[in-house]
């Protein structure tokens, strides 16, 4: 994706795209950890039913955890963006559709 974006919009656009993507990937770690831990419990043998109670509980906790993380990000998106990416990110290039 970076090379395609760089070919059309240049290196500065790749930097503007890459920095927030690192943060988004960081937010996905909790979901990946839960799915790695819960998936083997769902894949039981034919003699045992899958542990759906564990799945439902883990999804519930993951939703609460993600909600606690996302709520401040939505409220303070501007200051967090300036803190993580620097104050100069307000005047970055955008896609012109060429």
pLDDT per position as a tens digit, 3-60: 766 677 777 777 777 777 787 888 788 888 888 888 777 777 677 777 788 888 888 9
Q: DSSP per residue over 4-37, as a string?
A: HHHHHH-HHHHHHHHHHHHHHHHHHHHHHHHHHH
Structure tokens at 12: 């500065």
Rounded average pLDDT over 73-83: 82
Q: How many helices (H) and strands (E) does the chain have?
A: 4, 0
Which of residues 78 and 13 earns the better pLDDT score?
A: 78
**pLDDT digit string, tens, across residues 2-16:** 576 667 777 777 777
Global confidence as pTM = 0.56
Q: Are 42 and 51 in contact (CB under 8 A)?
A: yes
């Amino acid at each position: 994706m970076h090379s395609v974006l760089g070919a059309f919009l240049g290196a500065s656009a790749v930097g503007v795209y890459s920095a927030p993507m690192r943060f988004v990937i960081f937010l996905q770690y909790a979901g990946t950890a839960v799915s790695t831990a819960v998936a083997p419990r769902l894949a039981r043998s034919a003699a045992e039913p899958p542990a759906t109670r564990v799945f439902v509980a883990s999804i519930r906790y993951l939703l609460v955890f993600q909600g606690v993380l996302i709520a401040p990000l939505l409220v303070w998106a501007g200051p967090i963006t300036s803190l993580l990416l620097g104050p100069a990110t307000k005047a970055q290039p955008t896609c012109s559709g060429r």
